[in-house]
Chain A
């Protein structure tokens, strides 16, 4: 019979359901079932209880075949090879090939133990704090299984949920470090005694305090906030980055400023020199009207060097009236024009003013003398000019040299700081995030983030052969963040990323292989795109090395 859909069906309230609870009836049925099994025969009862029991008995046998400790399909992360058995309670890895393996430590549960993990993390386990499933304190050897997941590939591979959905938004966790810790004895999982805690000092590459400590619940569906961890940073002989000379300190460089002034001064003097070039003398033209005026050489130094200058009407003067020569003028003044060597001579009297475009000329012996003089002056001028030009060049050279030195210092300081930051990030014992736990499981120093912003696309996927790829989910990795942004098939039409960052997409095929879309191809996606088909590459060993290198080269925080 075809199923029947009921939409928006009303259902009993919680109160009504609670009223129908009857545990004693279930216990009665249980005891009846047990006794009937003991007798080895079927019993028939009337009414509700009979129907229930009959169904129960028949179902009991059915249960034998279908409910036999339902198998748990879980991929188990690899553990250190020196111990048998496998760690359980782990989440199913998304990409088993890169899932971080557990390290297993054998400890004596009766003594205080501090485990020093190779990363620099420490786990302090007080004596007698471990109990078995019955709540009894265990003694003797126990196994502590511990692993750390610190970077995007580990987060991605682990399959540990690092996102949660609210009504309209998906939030993702940026992590400052994640650990998983379990304890076992003879294959049985252990717990921490309620009044005891285990102290963990986890190495981290992130010293920011914006992270909270979260614990993943047993169903691996919810992160419970445990409060704040405590961040300690030990420099241990390393120069703290904040104490290093900053590249920015160099901007107040007095010497450079002084050199810049010298350049400006040299240029000014050169311009002055260029403006003082002597004008070559001009020979008077016979027959052209001329007039003699007294020149204030302090205003017109270019005429200082020549004696007996007269002014000849210039060829460009078209309106000269020779009759003006017979007029008695009260005032005469001289002005330069835009044409070198041409002046405006202005004659005025109360009732009239005229101007005549003129040029200073010399005639006869004065001209020859002026010509010699000009040659001397020009030689002198050239020497001065050369000198000024050399001074300017020297000043510019000194300034540029100082500028290059400053740029070199800035670059050196930037490199020093970069190396120092890298050294801090690589030195395992430097940053510790400490917290106490009272139950085993997965702990994460997290900071929730929204999906990346900047560009949103409707995404489709295909392989390099052009075949469409079907994914249940893909993961976006933004290199500057320690986070993996998960997009599933319901929101592939809203795949967002920050185009100002370097990004990759990783996805696991149904066959368990890793495919990726690299950062160079990402950089070529236009921000104007509304949809995009990501051509995914199946990752080989070289590609995994490339990905590791790409992650390792991220700029320090």
Chain B
């Protein structure tokens, strides 16, 4: 049994034994949430909320192949969605320049000058995407997550996650040609 499985098993019996899991994943969950909400304090509060939910539902977690981390991220993603619905925060997309450049290259803006000109268009274009597409783009290009993990968090198969992302980029590419022609 792995170390983490031991912790989870112990936490199921006694919630105080959840602490090692809390310590291990606190920063990761915080950053996941912080990338999506406008306020730092709200991000800390929401992080605590996510762990509370996890502790309340730990007995339902089964070792069936979904990693514990992905299970936590799912709780975090749904919690953040609830914040948006409740208007507790504006939806934030935390992008980084290398990630934007990578997207630009994927839709064929390869030259440096092209990338710079079209970055603004790109950021607006991403913001216009449906929410789940934004999550795909954010997780892949800005958070550098592997497709398997993205699929687990969004409850997609790994292949579907890849195909969806590919279709998003393809659509953006067509839009870019149309706008800049």
Residues of chain A at the chain B interface (Cβ within 8 Å) = 1-9, 11-12, 14, 17-18, 20-23, 25-27, 29-30, 33, 48, 51-52, 55-56, 59-60, 62-63, 66-75, 88-90, 92, 94, 131, 133-135, 159, 161, 189, 191, 218-221, 439, 470, 472-473, 488-490, 508, 510
Q: Chain B's interface: helix, strand, loop or mixed, by majority? A: helix
Asked if residues A56 and B69 are in contact (CB atoms below 8 Å), the reply is no
Given A21-B26, A30-B55, A218-B2, are A74 and B65 also a contact pair (CB < 8 Å)? Answer: yes
Q: Which 5 A-B pairs have the closest CB atoms?
A: A472-B162, A191-B1, A3-B91, A489-B166, A5-B93
Closest to A470 in B: B166
Query: Which residues of chain B from 144 to 159 have any CB-CB distance to chain A below 8 Å in the complex?
Result: 146, 148-149, 151-152, 155-159
Closest to A21 in B: B26
B66 CB, min distance to chain A CBs, angstroms = 5
Asked if residues A4 and B91 are in contact (CB atoms below 8 Å), the reply is yes
* Total residue contacts A-B, CB cutoff 8 A: 181
Q: Among A18, A29, A48, A439, which residue has its beta carbon within 8 angstroms of that of B2?
A: A439
Q: Among B35, B44, B91, B159, which residue has its beta carbon within 8 angstroms of that of A94?
A: B159
Closest to B79 in A: A59
A221 CB, min distance to chain B CBs, angstroms = 5
B40 CB, min distance to chain A CBs, angstroms = 7
Asked if residues B157 and A6 are in contact (CB atoms below 8 Å), the reply is no
Q: Contacts A2-B128, A90-B65, A189-B63 given; 7 further ones with Cβ under 8 A?
A: A5-B92, A14-B27, A62-B78, A89-B65, A191-B5, A219-B67, A221-B149
Closest to B127 in A: A3
Asked if residues A3 and B5 are in contact (CB atoms below 8 Å), the reply is no
A338 CB, min distance to chain B CBs, angstroms = 73
Asked if residues B53 and A60 are in contact (CB atoms below 8 Å), the reply is yes
Closest to A189 in B: B63
Residues of A close to B52: CB separation below 8 A:
26, 29-30, 33, 52, 56
Residues of A close to B57: CB separation below 8 A:
63, 67
Asked if residues A33 and B158 are in contact (CB atoms below 8 Å), the reply is no
Asked if residues A23 and B127 are in contact (CB atoms below 8 Å), the reply is no
Residues of A close to B123: CB separation below 8 A:
5, 7
Given A69-B62, A219-B149, A488-B162, are A4 and B82 also a contact pair (CB < 8 Å)? Answer: no
Residues of A close to B64: CB separation below 8 A:
72, 88-89
Question: In the complex, A498 Cα to B48 Cα: how many Å?
Answer: 53
Residues of A close to B126: CB separation below 8 A:
5
Q: Among B19, B23, B67, B94, which residue has its beta carbon within 8 angstroms of that of A6?
A: B94
Asked if residues A73 and B69 are in contact (CB atoms below 8 Å), the reply is no
Closest to A70 in B: B74
Residues of B close to A135: CB separation below 8 A:
1, 6, 9
Asked if residues B93 and A6 are in contact (CB atoms below 8 Å), the reply is yes
Residues of A close to B27: CB separation below 8 A:
14, 17-18
Asked if residues A6 and B53 are in contact (CB atoms below 8 Å), the reply is no
